Copies of this chain bind each other. A is one copy, B any other.
Amino acid sequence: MEKEITIYDIARELDLSPTTVSRALNDHPAVNHKTKQRISEAATQMGYRSNMFASNLRKQRTNTIGLIVPRLDSPFHSSVIAGMEKVANEEGYNLIISQSLETMQKEKANANAMFNSRVDGLLVSLSFETENLDHFESFISKGIPVIFYDRVADHKDCTSIVIDNLQAAYKATSHLIEQGCTNIVHITGNLKRNVYADRLKGYKYALVDHDLPFTDSNVIISQMTEEAGKEAAQQILRMDPLPDGIFVSNDLCAVSCIKALKKAGVSIPKDIAVIGFNNDAISRVIEPNLTTVNYPSQEMGEVALKVLLVQMNGTGERIPGNTIHLRSELIIRESSLRSKASTKKKAVIL
């Protein structure tokens, strides 16, 4: 447990001032090249490491980015985080992470903790429950950029990063219709969240555009968990007539629903065609393989972090109300294929 070396130690050693040492270590142009060399050598030789707290205290910035996710143990979010970590790491930023566990109360607490930790920027994917964005105002009024991704909300000073959920849902539903489905159920999450509200819209518009009726009773709102998928299946099995298509807002829920339906003797896709969302690994494991929407999760993480960095280091001018869309695509697999020919049919574009 040796003593920590400071710039004062280096200064004394080389008979210079701490000022010059500090400048040299930060590659300041006003320091002689040779002096820099000497200082840098002494620093490594003496085992110096910069004290970020002294530096942060003085510079009033922390080199730290906060992240609030609904859950850490979800394939989607892990993948997003992997993308964020990659960029943060490359750029020399620290990422501090917390989860809201889908409650607004924890999201608030986490936001406050991040605020007190004085993060230089904040990345957020909203919880199911979140009703308003008041807990982010402290950041915004201080000029700390806040970026929402995936589960976003409209705020004039915040950038959002999303896929076109409406279009993705429209394509998925249209695909089911092309496969001959006329009675399609949609299983989705809390409509407070854009992702679910938009997918519901896309589902609805696709029905309307294909002259199919929209019924409230065909929309099942759930927690989108494995358990919820099973329950949704029970609910569907009680429907009369049985639907001939299901569009689910996430893969885990879709898969668990399929499992329950199969157990009840329903044939997928013959009796009911199913489409999921996200393209998680399980979508390639369930039989039949699940048609789903490919979500560029890792890319979304990378983009979110890059955009945040731009805003953090930017000249202060915010790109107001800006929304960035990433491309998603329908991946057609067996779970939705009821006619061989149809794959060649051109998809209807919104």
Contact = CB atoms under 8 A, between A and B. Distances in A.
Interface of A: 1-2, 49-54, 56-57, 62, 64, 71-75, 77-79, 81-82, 85-86, 89, 92, 94-99, 110, 113, 115-118, 141-143, 226, 252, 255, 259, 281-282, 285-287, 298
A60 to B, nearest CB: 8
A64 B2 CA distance: 21
Contacts of A255: 285
A118 B79 contact: no
Contacts of A82: 71-73, 99
Contact of A74 (B53, B71, B78, B113): B78
Residue from A56, A77, A94, A110 having most chain B Cβ neighbours under 10 A? A94
B85 A78 contact: no
Nearest to A79: B73
Nearest to A289: B259
A1 B142 contact: yes
Contact of A51 (B57, B77, B96): B57
11 contacts: A2-B142, A50-B116, A51-B57, A53-B57, A73-B298, A75-B75, A81-B97, A89-B98, A94-B96, A95-B97, A259-B285
A326 to B, nearest CB: 17
B116 A52 contact: yes
B72 A78 contact: yes
A195 to B, nearest CB: 20
Given A75-B78, A96-B96, 6 more contacts: A51-B118, A72-B78, A73-B79, A89-B113, A95-B96, A259-B285
A295 B92 CA distance: 34
Nearest to A106: B89
A116 B49 contact: yes
Contacts of A85: 72, 97-99
